[in-house]
Each structure stands twice: as structure tokens, then as C-alpha cells.
Amino acid sequence: MGTRKTTKPHLIALAIAGFSVGMMSAPLAEAAIVTQWEVTVDAKFDASSIVWRFGDAGTTVTDHQLRWGDPSPSTGPQSGVDITNSPAVTSVDTNGAAVGNIFLSHLNNPIVAGSPRPERFAIASTLTLTPLVPAGPGLPSVTQTFNVYFEETPNGANPCADGGANGVGVNLNGCGDIFVLDRDALNFMFTYDTGDGIDQQYFISFFELTSGLNPLPQTACDYVFNAQSLPTGSPCLGFVTPEDATTRVQFAAMITTAPVQIPEPGSLALAGLSLSLLGLLRRRWV
């Protein structure tokens, strides 16, 4: 199990003594790596996190379903978001490919302008990690919560809020709606000791599987950031959903021994970070 260890004063003294007599060339011990994990993801909407625009009249909130808006036409269905395939149990290789788990479906139905809709909600994912290779005792379950920012865009704009042309591609039926994932979905840090007495640091990240770590167009990011009163100009992860359609996207988990970062558009999806950046991530598995 990953535990926080107390440094013993006499070990510090020995280390200083060794340094003073020229032992700098002695090899440093390296932690054994868990190369494969069983990852269980049990995801729910966090009802307390929802920020409604234009009130919450007529909305529905359950663990796995959100519904909102006055249908247009009035006989039509509301818009909404569903979580399915939860809980999901998968095997994830350390520093390997992202592996899909839960699904998020957006029912992008026409609603009356100015009727209730969410601008922000959180997904609370309870994670249970168990080492498979080498096999070992599992870590205690913890819940990682991250925000999803949502903007129901003006259908008739041209260009659309994502920067694309109206009537083309994802904007074929009018401008698509935009989802942006909060950066807290990336680089949740934990440690694990395989039995060699050394805690190895790992990071687990969640993102939408199809786009992966490729950012949305900056125009789409800035549209959402501006609407949410957040600083603009930074790359973001997310997806765009077409109007008058149901879009089903799969989330995925990736486990790495160094943090991942959102790249600038067109750059590599994984980027090496300096050791100094590791100290910025203080969340630990407890």
C-alpha cells in the first residue's frame, strides 16, 4: 500500500556523511513499477455542483441523468446528459494507452431560448485501483471530482462558437454545443509501494477518448471560458455535439509515472515536465 513514511534522523546523517566523503557516484535506489492496474470507475453527477442558467424549473437531477429546458416544439423531449456503463472495470497499463470506461450521452434537443440549462456540473468518479502486474493489495477507494463546463450555443451564428462554419460537419444542423473538461480531470496523484520500501509516484487522468489529449480549437475554448467568466487563452479538452442529435462519448483513464499536460494545438499529446513541476501536484491517495 502507498503510505507516507517518516524520515529517520540517523539516515539523514548517514547520507550527509556519505556525500562528504565522495559517495556521489553511488547508484540511487529506484522503485519497482506496477505495470498494469485494474481500474474500477463508478461515476455519478454531483447534484450540489450544478450551476443553472435561467433557473432550475422543470429540471431533473439523478445520479446518472440530467434533464433541462422547455422543449421546442412543446411536444418534443428536453435536452439532457446521461452517464452509462457505470461502474466500469478495466485493465490499464502504466504509461500505456488510455482505456475507455464510462459513457456520457448528450441529448441535444431543441429547447426554447432562455429556458433553464446547466452551465456547469461535476462528475464524481469513485476510483478503486488494484495492481495486477505485479499483483498486490488494492488502494482504498477515493472519489475524484471534476467540473464539466457546458455552453448551449446560438444555432444560427456563422461562424459558430467553435470557429467552424454553420451547416458543415458537427455544425450541419446548426451550431453544435460545447463541453469543456476541467483540468482537475488530469493528473490525480497517488503513490504505491510494491514492497521494496520505496513509494513510486503515479498519475491517473480522465478525458474523452476520441479526441484524447488533443485540445479543442482555441475559439471554442475561449467561447466557453468567456461565458463562464474564466481566463481565456489557454488550451482545453472537450468535445462538440451536433444539434438535434444524441451524441455518445466515452471517457478513458490513463495512468502515467509523470504528469500529462494539455498541449498547444498541433503539438505532441504527452510532454515531459521538469521535476520542479511535480511539486505543484500535492493531492495524495490517503
Nearest to 69 by CA among 29, 106, 17: 106
Q: What is the pLDDT of residues 258-267, one digit of tens each?
A: 999 888 765 5
Separation of alpha carbons 193 and 31, rounded Å: 8
In sequence order, the β-bridge partners of residue 104 are 83, 249
Separation of alpha carbons 65 and 230, rounded Å: 26
**pLDDT confidence of residue 266:** 54
Q: Where are the domains of the chain?
A: 37-278
C-beta of residue 162 within 8 angstroms of C-beta of residue 240: yes
**pLDDT confidence of residue 26:** 45
**pLDDT confidence of residue 28:** 54
C-beta of residue 216 within 8 angstroms of C-beta of residue 192: no
> Residue 234 in 3-state DSSP?
coil
Strand order in the sheet with 36-53: 88-93, 36-53, 117-133, 142-151, 177-181, 237-241
Where the chain has pLDDT below 50, the residues are 1-27, 268-286
Nearest to 227 by CA among 154, 282, 175: 154
- What Cα–Cα distance (Å) separates residue 17 from each residue in 14, 20, 198, 283? 5, 5, 22, 33
**pLDDT confidence of residue 29:** 62
Position 20: which residue type? S
**pLDDT confidence of residue 5:** 35
Read off the pTM.
0.82
Q: Look at strands 177-181 and 237-241 and give their pairing.
A: antiparallel
> Residue 275 in 3-state DSSP?
helix
**pLDDT confidence of residue 176:** 96
- The pair phi, psi for residue 225, each rounded to 5°, is -60, -45
What is the 3 state secondary structure string of 186-225?
CCEEEEECCCCCCCEEEEEEEEECCCCCCCCCHHHHHHHH
**pLDDT confidence of residue 264:** 76
